[in-house]
Amino acid sequence: MSAATTEARRPGLVVASAPAKVILLGEHGVNRRQPALAAAVGARARCSARVLDTPQVRIVSSLAVEEGTTGAVVAFSREVARMREHDARGELRDVAEHDLLAPVRYVLGQLIERFPVDGIEIAIESEIPIGSGFGSGAAVTCALSVAVARACSAELTTHEVAAFGWSGDIVAHGGVASGLDSSACALGGVVRYTLDEGPEPVPLAAPLRLVASDTGVFARTAAVNARVQAAVAADESKNRVFEQIGGLVGAAVDAVAAGELELLGHLMDDNQALLAQIGVSSPEIETLAAAARGAGALGAKLSGSGGGGIVIALCAPDTEARVADAMTAAGGRSTILTAGVAGAAVDEDHLDDELEEHVGK
């Protein structure tokens, strides 16, 4: 038995995982009470949790190793809650920019208040690229929520997991975030989401064959959101774009449920054109989308906040490899995705050896 397997089976250690996501349609509109559509995809983030009998908090991740106390984590969480209550977006953006573990610590503080413990030890690993539109932060905090609850001999509903994940995104995205990412990560499958109604699973009548290609351009979601807010403030007519995006999403939900993939592809192309109108596309995004369409993709668009990050392409059967090769030749780093995978759950898998060696020391 490997050391990692032994570690994963230690009494009191719980490991949970959550998937990445892509936004099929609706980014930016969703922050303005319009619907959006997202799918959970293959790569996953994993988190382990173990309750301690001392007032100590230890967080191990590829970003940092941090040690503190339960009191300090709860105090930080309450301070972030104050910022949110006062809509202090500038303060939240500063926190997101200068404190990479802030979303994790904020969610963990809420969990400690929900499930009081003396202390807790957390380890995080993720296959999901950061800042590329795959919802890496939401996947981490959804996995964290499931692991901590189970380590405390409790359970959360999938909607509660999504809510905790969303609160982490509020910090990571500088005070502006919908629950779309966390809903897809928590529930899995394909999810329709609105701010007013929350998440709703959408039946998947036909497999979604997707390719994601990374532009290689990193753009902070908080900065892109602020840019969109400024553009709308300068020209209020741009608000009509969000309404048009919402209309496309309604048609896309019906297309997914009916298996009408060609229609879904056309709607994705239309969504991309509207996103370009609000200034969140880029030359790199347009180049990859054009390459995908030229190779036979049914539709292609940015996924996430934009400004960079990934482009997703919907493919006809047996064309994924050709589309991926074309997007790579156009300058992207391309991956064929499995769409509609399972959501956040306790995981029998274990953390990698590099993180395992820190756990329990």
pLDDT (tens digit per residue) in 115-172: 999 999 999 999 998 877 899 999 999 999 999 999 999 999 999 999 999 999 999 9
CATH architecture for residues 3-201+341-356: 2-Layer Sandwich (3.30)
Q: pLDDT for 9-41, tens place per residue? A: 445 899 999 999 999 999 999 989 999 999 999
Of the pLDDT bands very low, low, confident and very high (cuts 50, 70, 90), residue 352 is low
C-alpha to C-alpha distance for 228 and 278, rounded to whole angstroms: 7
- What is the full DSSP assignment across 215-270? -S----HHHHHHHHHHHHHH-GGGHHHHHHHHHHHHHHHHHHHHT-HHHHHHHHHH
Query: For the residues 323-346, what does the mean pLDDT come to?
Result: 97
Contacts (Cβ under 8 Å, ≥6 apart) of 9: none
Query: For the residues 305-331, what does the mean pLDDT come to?
Result: 96
**In the CATH scheme, what is the homologous superfamily, with its name and number, of domain 209-338?**
GHMP kinase, C-terminal domain (3.30.70.890)
Q: pLDDT for 38-70, tens place per residue? A: 999 999 999 999 999 999 999 999 888 999 999
Strands 345-346 and 299-303: unpaired
pTM: 0.87
| Structure tokens given for 194 | 């609105």
**Residue 348 in this model has a pLDDT that exceeds 90:** no
- Residue 82: CB atoms within 10 Å: 11
Cβ–Cβ under 8 Å, residues 264 and 314: yes
Average pLDDT along the chain = 91
> What percent of the chain has pLDDT above 90?
79
Domain definitions of the chain by residue range? 3-201+341-356, 209-338
As annotated, the active-site residues are 181
Q: What is the pLDDT of residue 355?
A: 52
| Structure tokens given for 78 | 């309450």
Q: Is the pLDDT higher at 361 or at 304?
A: 304
Cβ–Cβ under 8 Å, residues 74 and 112: yes
Q: Is the pLDDT higher at 347 or at 208?
A: 208
C-alpha to C-alpha distance for 104 and 60, rounded to whole angstroms: 11
Of the pLDDT bands very low, low, confident and very high (cuts 50, 70, 90), residue 247 is very high
Strand partners, 312: 212, 301
Q: pLDDT for 258-306, tens place per residue? A: 999 999 999 999 999 999 999 999 999 999 999 999 999 999 999 999 9
**Nearest of 29, 4, 15, 9 to residue 245 by alpha carbon:** 29
